[in-house]
Structure 1
Amino acid sequence: MLLSMKDINKSFSGVSVLRDASLEVAPGEVMALIGQNGAGKSTMIKILTGAYRKDSGSIQFDGTQVDFSAPAGAQAAGIATVYQELNLAPHRTVAENIFLSREPRRWGLLDRRRMRAEASRVLARFKLELDVDRPLEDFSAATRQMVAIARGVTQNARLVIMDEPTSSLDEREVGVLFDTIRTLKADGVSTLFVSHRLSELYAVCDRVTIMRDGRTIGQHPMSEISRVELVRSMLGRELTAFATRAKDEARGSDLPVFLHAEDLHAGTRVRGVSLQVRRGEIAGLAGLLGAGRTETARLIFGADPRDGGRVAVEGRETSYREPVDAIRDGIGLVSEDRKVEGIVPELSVRENMTLAILPKLRVGGVVDRTRERAIVDRFIKALGVKCSSPEQPIRELSGGNQQKVLLARWLCTDPNLLIVDEPTRGIDVGAKAEILKLLRELADDGLSVLMISSELEELMAAADHVTVLSDGQSVAVLAADELSEERLMTEMAHQNEIGSEGARAA
C-alpha cells in the first residue's frame, strides 16, 4: 500500500472525533472517502497532512512510518492537498499561485520566464488558456478552483488529496478534472477523492472508504456496492427523503407577496431578472454556473449596487445602499461561501450565532450575557447543532453544523425573508435532508425563503415555485406541479442556446 492509516484516534475538548479509524490507498488508485459531516473525513486528512496531530495510531506512507508535524513535511514527502475552501493568494498572479513557495530560481534569483512557461504548460493539461500574469482574483471561482488543482498536481506528488474539488466547476470543467485524475492514475499517482456527489464517485473512483461517527465502517470496490447500499452504510439507517409537501398542498397565489424584484440590472452578470417571494413559501432560484443567481441575491440584499430595476418589500419600493438597510427590513442572507463570507473561524459557536444581533443585546454598552446564552441555547436545541458546548470554536464543527449556526444567526434577528445561497453546498446527503426539512418548517411557520441551489432535486423537493435564470436573465417561472429535472434543464439549456446563437450572429 502507498498509504496505510491504522487505529487513528483524535479528540477535541474532550469530544472524540476519530475512534480507531483506518484508511488505505494503493499506488495508482483513486480512492473515494465519504461520510456524513462530522464522520471524521476532514480530521483524517488533516492528521495525514500534519495540520492536526493524532492522539494515537500509526501512519505509513510509501513504506515509511510517518508523523508529520506540519503540512510542509507532508508536501515534501509527496502528498499534495487541494481543499474545498481554496487556500490561494488572490492578489498574486496565476503563475505565482501555481508555484507558491516552490518558485523556480536561476542563480539564486526568481526565474519568472520559466515560471510563466511551466504554469502555461500545466494549465494546458486542464485545457485552460489563461494569461498567467494576471492576478488570480480577476478570474471566476471555477477557474480559481482549477488553478488550485493544477498547483496540487505540479508538486511531484505520489498522492493527491482532493476535497470536494468539483464544488465550483461546471460540467465541462468536471470532465477535464476527471481526465486529469485518470492521467495521474496512468502515471502511478494515487488520488484520495472526497465528494458528496455519488455520481462522481462512480465515474472516477476505484474503491470507496466509508466513515461514520469517527469510525471507518467499510471499504468496497465501487463496482460492487450500489448507491442505495452506499447511502445506507454512510447514514447507518434508511435515507429519509427530502422534506416536501404534496403538489396539491403547495402554497398558492393567495398568499401576500413579501418581495417583488423587477428587471434588475448590474453590469454584465444581471441583465433583466424579475422574481417574487410570497409570505410563508420557499421560492427557488435555478440556473447554470454564471447565470446570475448569487449576483441577484446580493443586489436584493444591498451588498452590491444595481444599475437598474426595482425592489419592493410588502409593496413599498426600496433602495438599499448596504446590507444593514436590508436587515432593518427583516431580510437575511446566508451566503454561498460560508468560510469566507459566513463564519468567523476563530470565534465560538455562541459568538458566531449572535453576531447579527449584538446591538440588540447591549444594555448600557455591555452585552447581556444571560439573554445571549438563552438565545444561543434555544437555537442550538431547535436546529440540532452538534457541538461540545456553545464555547467550542466553530472551525471544529462539521460543514453541516456550521451551516446550521449561520441559519441560526439570521433566525435570531426574527427575519421576514431569508435568502439562502446553496444552503447544502459541500455537506452530506443526511445533513441536506435536515437543512431542507428545517427550511420547510420555517416556511410553514410564515417565513419567506428564497433558496438558490444547483441541485435540481432539492428545488423540486422543497420549492413552491422556481424562477429559472440564464445569462443574467429570468427566463421561466415554474410552479410546483410543473417541476421536473427535464423541464428545468430544458429551460436553462434552451435559453443558453438562444443566447449563444445571438452572440454568434452579433
Structure 2
Amino acid sequence: MSTAPPGAPLVTMTGIVKDFTGVRALDGVDFTLRPGEIHAVMGENGAGKSTLIKVLTGVHGHDAGEILLDGRAVRFSGPKAAQAAGISTVYQEVNLAENLSVAENLLAGREPRLGPFIDFRAMRRRAEALLDDLGIELNVAAPLSAYSIAMQQLVAIARAVNIDAKVLILDEPTSSLDRDEVAVLLGLMRRLAAEKGTAMVFISHFLDQVYEICDRMTVLRNGRLVGEWATADLGESELIGHMLGREAATLEQIERAAAAHHVADEAPLVDAKGLGRKGSIAPFDLTVRRGEVVGLAGLLGSGRTETARLLAGADRADAGELDFEGARVGGHNPRTAAGRGIAFCPENRKTEGLVGELTVAENMILAMQASRGWVRSIPAAQRTRLVAEFIDKLGIRPADPDMPVKHLSGGNQQKVLLARWMLIEPKLLILDEPTRGIDVGAKADIQRLVAELSGGGMAVVFVSAELDEVTRLSDRIAVLRDRALIATLEAEADMTTERIVDTIVAGGER
C-alpha cells in the first residue's frame, strides 16, 4: 500500500514535456493518480497517451516537468527501475514466456529455492495461493500456451501484483478479448482496487468499458492536456468532443455520410462459389459488386479473417471457384491478386502489412513500385507529390514522410497502409479489422474514407468485430459462425446489431 496520506495522489506528474527530433509529443501535461482508483487516459492515437506512460515508467526521459511518487521526486532509468519502485505495466501483447508453466511465469526471478536448485513444489504452492487470492482458477503446472490470451493477461496482472505493484498500468488489455473474457478482467481490476488499494491507469478505445470501470479520466489531444473529470460528470458525447477537438455532431455527420452508399445494379465483380479451405473455413458463396461494401460479421473465431484471406489470395483455397470480373481466377496469391486490382489490409498491420524500419513514404509506395517492377523506379518528384497528397488527404500525423512508420500511432499506421493501396487504385479493397486498437477520431476518418471509396465505385469487403461499425458501413452483411458463412443480410431492416446477434444464435441452434 502507498505511504501517502489517504486521498493524496500516489503519482503526480506536473508540466511534463517530451520532444522527439523537433516534434513535441507532450506539451506541459499534468496527471494525478490516487491509491485504489482506476483512471482512464483518453485521446486519439497520437494524442500522447503512450508517451505519457513511457515517461512515467522510464522508457523515455522527460525534457521538462516533475514526477512525484508517494510525494518523492523520481526519474526512472527504465522500466526495471520503475517496477522496483512499484509501477508495473501490462501491455496489449502479453510479454510472458508461453513455453514455461503458469507458476514459472508468475514467479520468474523470485523462485523459491533449495540451495542452488528451484523448489518446484514450493513454487506451485505459492503460485496457487497467489491465484486463489485473486480469484483466478488455473492449473499452475500447465504451460502458459495452454490458455487463451485473456487468461494470459490475468497471469500478467497476477505477476505484477506479486511484485507488490502500487501502480498497475493496463495498455489496451481488452482489445483481443471476447465479452466474457473482458468481464473477468474488469472484475479482477475491481477487486485489486477495492481490496488491495492498487492504483490503475487504464488505456482503452472501448468507451463502454471506460465508463463501466473507471473512476476518473484524463483527456489528451495533440500532446496537450484537455482536462480531467470524474467519469460520472462527463457524458460520452462530451468526451468524444474533447478527444476530437470538434463537436460530437460532427462525428454524427461523418457516420451519416458513411451510410450513404450507392450500389450499381450490375454483374458481380467478385463471385465466390463453394470457396473454402479445409480446417479454415467451410465452403461459402459470396458476391461483391462495384461500389458495394460487404461486411463480414461474427464472433471471435467465426471465420471472418479466414474468409477475407481466401478472397485476397493470402491463403489458398482447396475447394470451390472464384470469378473476378467474370473470369475464372487461377493461381490466386497475393502477387496475382494485386495484379488484378485486389488490395488486402490484414488484421495484423504491424507484422503482415507494414515494414516498421522503412519510412512513411517508403511504405506508401511499396505496392506502386512493385506494380511497375523494381527496375523502373518512381520519379522522385512524382513520389514526393503523391506521398504529400495522401498524407494530407488521410490526415496522417506527424506529417513527416521520412519518419520510420514504427514510430506512428496505430491509427496513423493504418492510414499509411490504406494510402499504399489507394495509390494503385484497386478495384476491390479488403479491410480486416482496420479500426481495431485505434481511437474514435481515426476510426471515424477511416469509416468516412470507406464510404468515399465505395461511392467512387470501389468494391469493399469490411471485416470488424464491432457490429455497430459493420451495420453503419455495409450494404450487405455476411454473418459467420464456427468458421462457416450462415446467412447474408441484404434488407436494410435486417441489418441491425440485434438481427446479427439473433442470426448467430440461430445458427448455433441449427
Q: Is the TM value for this pair above 0.5?
A: yes
Q: Residues of 2 paired with 1:324 and 1:458: CA distance?
A: 30
Provide TM-score, normalisation by structure 1: 0.89
1:438 shift after superposition = 0.6
Q: Does 1:484 align with 2:496?
A: yes
What is the aligned partner in structure 2 of residue 415 from structure 1? Answer: 426
Letter of the 2:115 counterpart:
W
Are residues 58 and 464 of structure 1, via their aligned partners in 2, closer, same or farther at CA, if it must alter by over 3 Å? same
Q: Is the 8 A contact 2:92 2:175 kept in 1?
A: yes
Which of 220, 229, 245 is equivalent to 1:211? 220
Q: Is the 8 A contact 1:283 1:451 kept in 2?
A: yes
Q: Residues of 2 paired with 1:113 and 1:332: CA distance?
A: 54
Q: Does 1:20 align with 2:28?
A: yes
- What per-residue deviation string (whole Å, max 9, x for no partner) do you get for residues 116-139 of structure 1? 565566667575546854463x66
What is the aligned partner in structure 2 of residue 470 from structure 1? Answer: 481
Are residues 131 and 324 of structure 1, via their aligned partners in 2, closer, same or farther at CA, if it must alter by over 3 Å? farther
Which segments of 5 or more consecutive residues in structure 1 lack a partner in the other structure?
500-506
What is the aligned partner in structure 1 of residue 65 from structure 2? Answer: 57
Letter of the 1:217 counterpart:
V
SS of the residue corresponding to residue 382 of structure 1 reads helix
Q: Does 1:230 align with 2:242?
A: no
Q: Is the 8 A contact 2:313 2:337 kept in 1?
A: yes
Q: Residues of 2 paired with 1:266 and 1:150: CA distance?
A: 39
What is the aligned partner in structure 2 of residue 341 from structure 1? Answer: 352
1:212 shift after superposition = 1.5
- What per-residue deviation string (whole Å, max 9, x for no partner) do you get for residues 191-250 of structure 1? 111112121112111111111221122211112222122222222221212434597x64
Query: Once the two structures are aligned, what percentage of the paired residues are identical?
Result: 44
Q: Is the 8 A contact 1:7 1:58 kept in 2?
A: yes
Letter of the 1:192 counterpart:
V
Which of 272, 276, 291 is equivalent to 1:265? 276
Q: Residues of 1 paired with 2:29 and 2:418: CA distance?
A: 31
Q: Residues of 1 paired with 2:483 and 2:504: CA distance?
A: 11
Q: Is the 8 A contact 2:274 2:284 kept in 1?
A: yes
What is the aligned partner in structure 1 of residue 255 from structure 2? Answer: 243
What is the aligned partner in structure 2 of residue 502 from structure 1? Answer: none
Q: Does 1:193 align with 2:205?
A: no
Which residues of 2 match residues 61-460 of structure 1 at below 5 A? 61-89=69-97, 96-99=104-107, 105-115=113-123, 125=134, 127=136, 129=138, 133-134=142-143, 136=145, 140-186=148-194, 187-239=196-248, 240-241=251-252, 242-244=254-256, 250-252=261-263, 254-320=265-331, 322-360=333-371, 364=375, 368-460=379-471
Are residues 315 and 321 of structure 1, via their aligned partners in 2, closer, same or farther at CA, if it must alter by over 3 Å? closer
Which segments of 5 or more consecutive residues in structure 2 lack a partner in the other structure?
1-8
Q: Is the 8 A contact 1:286 1:453 kept in 2?
A: yes
Q: Is the 8 A contact 2:258 2:448 kept in 1?
A: no
Q: Residues of 2 paired with 1:307 and 1:96: CA distance?
A: 42
Which range moved further: 141-150 or 316-325? 141-150
Which range moved further: 353-362 or 1-10? 353-362
Q: Residues of 2 paired with 1:270 and 1:464: CA distance?
A: 23
Letter of the 1:37 counterpart:
N
What is the aligned partner in structure 1 of residue 5 from structure 2? Answer: none
The alignment of Structure 1 onto Structure 2 pairs a total of residues equal to: 496
Letter of the 2:222 counterpart:
D
Q: Residues of 1 paired with 2:258 and 2:73: CA distance?
A: 56
Letter of the 2:366 counterpart:
L
Letter of the 1:45 counterpart:
I
CA RMSD of aligned residues (A): 2.7
Q: Is the 8 A contact 1:93 1:135 kept in 2?
A: yes
Are residues 363 and 477 of structure 1, via their aligned partners in 2, closer, same or farther at CA, if it must alter by over 3 Å? closer
Q: Residues of 2 paired with 1:321 and 1:134: CA distance?
A: 38
Which range moved further: 326-335 or 310-319? 310-319
